[in-house]
Amino acid sequence: MTYDPNNVFAKILRGEIPCKKVYEDDFALAFHDINPQAPIHVLVIPKAAYVSILDFSAEAAPELVTGFFRAVGTVARQLGLEEPGFRMMANIGSDGGQEVPHLHIHLFGGRKMGRMISKD
Ligand code: 5GP
C-alpha cells in the first residue's frame, strides 16, 4: 500500500493539526486518542512514512525500528501502565479495522481489558 502523506497522523507529525502529546523523541510521537476506548488510550506513531507493521518491518532502518519500539515501552512506563498491565494493539488493513494509514500502536489501560478481541 502506498503511503498517503495527507493522512491525519502525517498532518499531526507536520504540526498541521494539534494533538495532546504525551511523549516525543527522535523516532516517535505519542498522543491521546481523540476518541478514547479506555480510561487511558494513547497512540504511538513513528516519525516516518510507513502504513503499517508490514512496510515498517521490511523497510525501516534498524535504528528507527529499535527507537520506535523503545518509545512504545517508554510511553507505557511513563503512563504508569507497567502495573497492573495494559493492552497494546495495532490494526492493519481492512479486516484489521485500520482507519488511519500511518503505523500506530494503541496503548489501552486503566481498566481490565477482557479476553482478546470481540467476536463481531
Ligand atoms: P485505527 O482504527 O486506524 O487503528 O485507529 C485510528 C485511531 O485514531 C482511532 O482510535 C481514532 O479515534 C484516532 N484518531 C483519528 N483521528 C484522530 C485525530 O485527529 N487525533 C487523534 N488524537 N486521534 C485520532
pLDDT, residue 8, reads: 98
Return the closest-CA partner of residue 72 out of 14, 20, 30: 30
pLDDT tops 70 at residue 120: no
> Is this prediction's pTM over 0.95?
yes
Contacts of 100 (CB under 8 A, 6+ apart): 7, 8, 9
Q: pLDDT (tens digit, 9 = 90+) per residue, 1-39?
A: 799 999 999 999 999 999 999 999 999 999 999 999 999
Mean pLDDT calculated for residue range 28-51: 98
Residue 91, ligand 1, Cβ within 6 A = yes
Taking a C-beta distance cutoff of 8 angstroms, is the pair 31, 15 a contact?
A: no
pLDDT tops 80 at residue 59: yes
Mean pLDDT calculated for residue range 50-77: 98
Q: Separation of 33 CA from ligand 1 center, angstroms?
A: 6
Pocket test for ligand 1, best of 1, 42, 43 (most atoms within 8 A of CB): 43
Return the closest-CA partner of residue 42 out of 114, 103, 120, 109: 109
Residue that is written with C-alpha cell 523516532 in the block:
27
Enumerate the H helices of the chain as residue ranges.
8-13, 53-59, 62-78, 93-96
Contacts of 37 (CB under 8 A, 6+ apart): 108
pLDDT, residue 101, reads: 98
13 CB neighbour count, 10 Å cutoff = 19
Residue 35, ligand 1, Cβ within 6 A = yes
